Structure 1
Amino acid sequence: MRTAHVRRAVGTASALLLLPALVAGTTPGTATAAVAAPRAAQAAAGCGTATALTKKLPNGTTWTMCWRISGTKGLVLEKIAYQPRKEPHPIKVLDSAALAQVNVPYDSGLTEYNDLSDIGFGNTAVDIGSDECPGGTIGSAYVPQQERTVKALCATTAPHGYAYRSDVQDERGNAKKYTKQGSDLVVFSVSQLGWYEYVTQWNFSDDGTVTAKVGATGDLSPSDYSGEGTGWPIGKGGHDHATSHYHSVFWRLDFAADGSARSKVEQYDTKTAGRGSGSAVLKTTRTPVAKELAATSALRRWWRVVSPTAKNTDRHPRSWELVQQHSDHYDAHAYTSKDVYVTQYRACEQLASGNSDPACAGRGTSVDKWANAETLTHPVVWVNVGFHHIPRDEDQTPMPIHWQGFQLVPRDVTAMSPLTPDDLAGHNGRAH
């Protein structure tokens, strides 16, 4: 979508100096530089120099976290916790979550970008206007590369449609319809790299689901039009062709399942095991992931991260399931050819490629080099979602946003849905 000479000129990615944001006195829906919050308040939230963010959604679920802007990664979320309305304490989910690379190779073989390690999403963060953050609050961060404070983060709420709908009997045996609409805490930042504009977004739902996604918008780069027949014809006739290309987006997830870094990872596979009287027999097997893993998705395959100690009130271990969306992984690189990596935690392993931390010298610079069968005691999960973008006429102009991402869904975190109506609280298992 863009060539090197149209890219914003930036130097080496660097950490950003943060100003505490989303503080009392910040006007909802108004882009404003944040005033300094009391350091004591930040420390009380456990965020250090990052900024605390807390939101109670209409259905009673509360999400808490810390946010900061990294020059390389852009938006970084830390100490993420989830508290359904009937839980006495917050339930920790992730110690940190952030992008780990955006690899963009072009089908022509002439151009390739690594947007995080080469340029940085924080270094290219842009101002978010009030019309882009409806009903929300905009937080600011100082960006050294731009020598200015950027209105870099929006935190708002948005409806997500049905939370549930059910016609059942209440505790007295009376027929009743139960229905409720759901909502999300939506947190996002925007980065502009040449002709592309990326939205790094996280949705935190009232049912405990976490949705991570990156949206690409902006414009098709005129510099990438070609009359050579590569790509897809754009504009009048067959003169201009916009070159097709890949987006391989990586996320790095350091779990803290119920506060423990010593989480367990499990893989599940469901396969046909014969025929029953009415349908095929399917058997699901669990495989503990005891050593580092480099894996591809498969039909009826999924993973979960399990707390080593915590259980819900039904005495089932609490866990978070990785739910993957469609992905076309890029098989021309070793590190982009897999969908999921699980590696042993090392502080210096932060980027899926182009990882240049001197503390990792000799270990390789990409995640595929780190998944070498080491025993897991503190697993880190890396998720790769690939999208092959073949441009179309409708991509101009501006280009409609296209999203790629995944979800983390609570599995047995609570004994029942966190949104269960009070008069159905006894409908657990076969109790009804």
Structure 2
Amino acid sequence: MRVNSNTKARTRAAAALTVAALAAGATAGAGPATAQPKAAPAPAAACSAAYRIEQKLSSGTTWRMCWRYDGKAGLVLENISYQPKGEPKQIKVLNSARLGQIHVPYDDGNIEYDDLTGFDFAQGLMNLAPSECPGGTIKSVKVPDSWNEDPNVKGLCTTTRSRGHAYRMQGDTANKVFQAEGKDLLVYTVNQVGWYEYMTEWRFQDDGAITMNVGATGSLSWDDYDAGDGRGWPIGKGASAKSTSHSHNAFWRLDFALDGSTKNKVEQYDSTVAAPVRGQRAPTTKTTRTKVSKELAGDSKNYRWWRMVSATGKNKDGHARSYEIVPGPTTKYPGRSYTKHDLYVTQYNKCELFASHNPGNCGAGAGKSVDKWVNGQALTHPVMWMNIGFHHIARDEDQQPMPVHWQGFSIAPRDVTAMNPLTPAELGWQNGHWQPRG
């Protein structure tokens, strides 16, 4: 879905002209939205005000972080922490969160792209209009080594959104219902790569969860309507124009620092279900924990999950704080070694930044992809990589413009707080083994 599919060649100059023209056309409508999110008090992130994001959500949770813009990865968020109501201080979650690659192989085998390291994803940052950031603020971003005369792009939106019910519970009496709407801090950018526009969004929920998504939109490339090998899908009238199918394999890189320490521990949980035996009314389920002490190339499967555990912090109940990894729907692409697994955990190395075609020189024999970095090192500072795939077989409805198709995952707090951080005060006493009041 890029440029002329007969040659499948990309030229830096052509892309630069496209980005420059679109940026120029959007500049007139870009700028800060009229309404701004409420600023949270007491800045804690180690960055200047221009690069600080602080938001106290209406439900009482405050998120704090820093941002910067990388010349290849695009938006990078750092020093991410949150403070639920009732907690005396902020709880650090991540040192950094960023995209690790968007790998795009075509079904016909003629071409594949690494959009972050090979096709200037970061250069394609787009100006945003105020209507794209309702109730929020559009920040100006200076794009490193920009092709444009003006490297400053109004391209980073921070706003808040409702996500629907956070909870609902019938109370002790028939006329008492506890319910609340969940609120999110939304941070996002749009980057154009060829015909595609990637929406990279980070949702920071008031319950402590973080959801990261990449949404592909823009346009189907008319130059790719030539799938003569029979793999493509007919677009338009008849069956003469077939759009070439392809995959989007998106990687994220998360450097955890729970409670401010990078000495986090990784655990894997697997459950097995056995048929009922004599005297039992139902099947039984047994869950086992495996401590992951060395680098891991892991695969999602039924009844399997992972968590990152704080080495230093506990909640008010005395339980170790942790974050559970919640993979989203994925289509695993088996064509490359680095896409054959869903999750990688590697020992921190400042040189290891991109899941494929890593540009840095990480030493002799280190390899250029994340699978090569899983080589048995002990995990004293684990870094997590998540791979979520999407096989895009085009359809008539993809034109014109193409609806957003999303791929992503979440990390959810597990024992970070002693109770639901959104618990209403009236229910605050119901922690653990409680009995109705007489």
Partner Cα separation in structure 1 for residue 71 and residue 83 of structure 2: 31
The answer for the alignment partner of 1:152 in structure 2 is 155
The answer for the alignment partner of 2:170 in structure 1 is 167
The one-letter code matched in structure 1 to 2:388 is V
The answer for the alignment partner of 1:101 in structure 2 is 101
The one-letter code matched in structure 2 to 1:416 is M
Contact preservation (8 Å) 1:30, 1:129: no
Question: Which residue among 342, 345, 349 is the counterpart of 2:345?
Answer: 342
The answer for the alignment partner of 1:402 in structure 2 is 405
Cα RMSD of the aligned pairs, angstroms, is: 2.2
Deviations 1:158-180 (A, max 9, x none): 110001111123xxx89621111
Structure 1 residues 18-417: aligned runs within 5 Å: 28-29=32-33, 45-47=45-47, 51-143=51-143, 144-147=145-148, 148=150, 149-169=152-172, 176-226=176-226, 228=228, 229-275=230-276, 277-417=280-420
Which ranges of structure 1 fall in alignment gaps of 5 or more residues?
13-25, 32-40
Post-superposition shift, 1:359?
4.0
Deviations 1:91-148 (A, max 9, x none): 0000000001000000010111000011233211111111111111001112232332
Deviations 1:174-204 (A, max 9, x none): 9621111111000000100110000110000
Partner Cα separation in structure 2 for residue 129 and residue 11 of structure 1: 22
Post-superposition shift, 1:273?
3.5
Post-superposition shift, 1:361?
4.6
Contact preservation (8 Å) 1:74, 1:120: no
Change over 3 Å in CA distance of 1:217–1:174 after alignment to 2: closer
Moved more, 386-395 or 1-10: 1-10
Partner Cα separation in structure 1 for residue 364 and residue 218 of structure 2: 37
Change over 3 Å in CA distance of 1:48–1:365 after alignment to 2: farther
Q: SS of the counterpart of 2:397?
A: helix
Partner Cα separation in structure 2 for residue 11 and residue 349 of structure 1: 27
Partner Cα separation in structure 2 for residue 121 and residue 329 of structure 1: 23
Partner Cα separation in structure 2 for residue 278 and residue 128 of structure 1: 59
Partner Cα separation in structure 1 for residue 103 and residue 46 of structure 2: 33
Change over 3 Å in CA distance of 1:366–1:389 after alignment to 2: same
Partner Cα separation in structure 1 for residue 364 and residue 115 of structure 2: 22
Partner Cα separation in structure 1 for residue 9 and residue 295 of structure 2: 40
What is the identity percentage for the equivalent residue pairs of Structure 1 and Structure 2?
53
Post-superposition shift, 1:10?
8.2
Partner Cα separation in structure 2 for residue 386 and residue 289 of structure 1: 24
Post-superposition shift, 1:6?
6.1
Partner Cα separation in structure 2 for residue 215 and residue 7 of structure 1: 24
Q: SS of the counterpart of 1:258?
A: helix
Q: SS of the counterpart of 1:53?
A: strand
Contact preservation (8 Å) 2:45, 2:79: no
Contact preservation (8 Å) 1:155, 1:188: yes
The one-letter code matched in structure 2 to 1:313 is K
Q: SS of the counterpart of 1:358?
A: coil
Partner Cα separation in structure 1 for residue 357 and residue 252 of structure 2: 14
Which ranges of structure 2 fall in alignment gaps of 5 or more residues?
17-29, 36-41
Deviations 1:371-425 (A, max 9, x none): 0111110000000000111111100010000000000000000010000000100
Change over 3 Å in CA distance of 1:321–1:227 after alignment to 2: closer
Post-superposition shift, 1:71?
1.3
The one-letter code matched in structure 1 to 2:76 is V
Q: SS of the counterpart of 1:248?
A: strand
Partner Cα separation in structure 2 for residue 315 and residue 404 of structure 1: 36
Partner Cα separation in structure 2 for residue 118 and residue 27 of structure 1: 30
Moved more, 276-285 or 178-187: 276-285
Change over 3 Å in CA distance of 1:9–1:285 after alignment to 2: farther
Partner Cα separation in structure 2 for residue 402 and residue 377 of structure 1: 37
Partner Cα separation in structure 2 for residue 313 and residue 408 of structure 1: 21
Normalising to structure 2: TM-score of the pair?
0.89
Q: SS of the counterpart of 1:45?
A: coil
Change over 3 Å in CA distance of 1:107–1:352 after alignment to 2: same
Q: How many residues align?
A: 406
Q: SS of the counterpart of 1:123?
A: helix
Post-superposition shift, 1:29?
1.1
Partner Cα separation in structure 1 for residue 81 and residue 219 of structure 2: 37
Contact preservation (8 Å) 2:275, 2:282: no
Partner Cα separation in structure 2 for residue 135 and residue 340 of structure 1: 36
Post-superposition shift, 1:294?
0.4
Contact preservation (8 Å) 1:294, 1:371: yes
Normalising to structure 1: TM-score of the pair?
0.90
Post-superposition shift, 1:47?
2.0
